[in-house]
Amino acid sequence: MREEVTAYVGLGANLGDAVQALRTAIARLGTLPHTRVTRSSSLYRTAPFDAGGPDYINAVAELSTGLNAPQLLAQLQSLEHEAGRERPFRNAPRTLDLDLLLFGSGTIASATLSVPHPRMMERAFVLVPLAEIAPHLVDPQQLRAVANQLVTRVD
């Protein structure tokens, strides 16, 4: 039996039907091997951050998984690929973006994965939905620091 870890995944999309893309992605997260979705946030609309293109739809999902972090990352990248994700340049608009934000209480620093996600505390589109489903992980001061970034609930 695999030991399960709680992981948090940030979801975003701003091409095509972004709302449906996120709903589908949350459902697909629950079909990953040894993984189930234990909670998911509301969907939020945000302006692109350090990027161009249409507004994003964002959310955060809490997973319970028996996968290790590199295995989970590979599964997330596979879901992005299935959704038509292309990476023509840094911060390009996308059909689906899945970021591994937290993996248990662990810290990972490798060439392919950094956990906690290195920029999550700078982004309201991560902190607001994360605070909705896991308020113990987000300090009110962190939310105040990103309060100038407009985040609007869409569902």
**Catalytic residue, candidates 97, 119, 123, 153:** 97
What are the start-end ranges of the E strands in the chain?
5-13, 35-40, 44-46, 56-65, 97-103, 108-109, 114-115, 151-153
Cα–Cα nearest to 100, from 76, 124, 82: 76
Q: How far apart are CA 11 and CA 22, in angstroms?
A: 7
Residue 97 known to be catalytic: yes
- Per the annotation, the verdict on 85 as an active-site residue is yes
Compute the distance between CA of residue 87 and CA of residue 59 in angstroms, rounded to an integer.
21
Catalytic residue among 28, 85, 119, 155: 85
Candidates 55, 94, 119, 139; catalytic one: 94
> Which among 87, 99, 123, 155 is annotated as catalytic?
99
Q: Torsions phi, psi of 55, nearest 5? A: -60, 155
**Residues labelled catalytic:** 85, 94, 97, 99
